[in-house]
Copies of this chain bind each other. A is one copy, B any other.
Amino acid sequence: MFELSIPLDATGPMWSTSSTRVRPMHVMTVLPDQWGPEMHGTFGTDDWLFLPLQSGTQWDSLAHVGYDEYFYNGVPMSEVNAGGAARNAVASILPGVVGRGVLLDIPRLMGVDRLDGGQPITPADLEAAEQAQGVRLTTVDVLLLRTGWRAKALQDGWQGWHDVEPGLTLECAEWLHEREVSAVASDNHGIEVLPTTASGPVGHPLHFVVIRDMGMPLGEIFDLEALADDCAEDGQYEVFFSAPPLRLPRAVGSPISPIAVK
Contacts and interface: CB of A to CB of B under 8 A. Distances in A.
Interface in A12-41: 14-18, 20-23, 25-34, 39-41
A15 B69 CA distance: 35
The binding surface of chain A is classed by DSSP as loop
Interface string A238-262: 0000101111111111011101010
Interface residues of A, number: 85
Given A29-B52, A32-B77, A82-B28, A252 B45 contact: yes
Nearest to A5: B247
A67 B94 contact: no
A199 interface: no
**Among A14, A49, A51, A63: residue with most chain B CB under 10 A:** A49
A16 B23 CA distance: 11
Interface string A29-71: 1111110000111111111111111101100000111111100
A253 B28 CA distance: 11
A176 interface: no
A250 B43 contact: no
A245 to B, nearest CB: 6
A3 B94 contact: yes
A47 B251 contact: yes
Interface stretch (A83-91, A101-109, A167-175): A83-91
A6 B246 CA distance: 9
Contacts of A31: 31, 80-82
A112 interface: no
A208 interface: yes
Given A33-B33, A95-B259, A43 B65 contact: yes
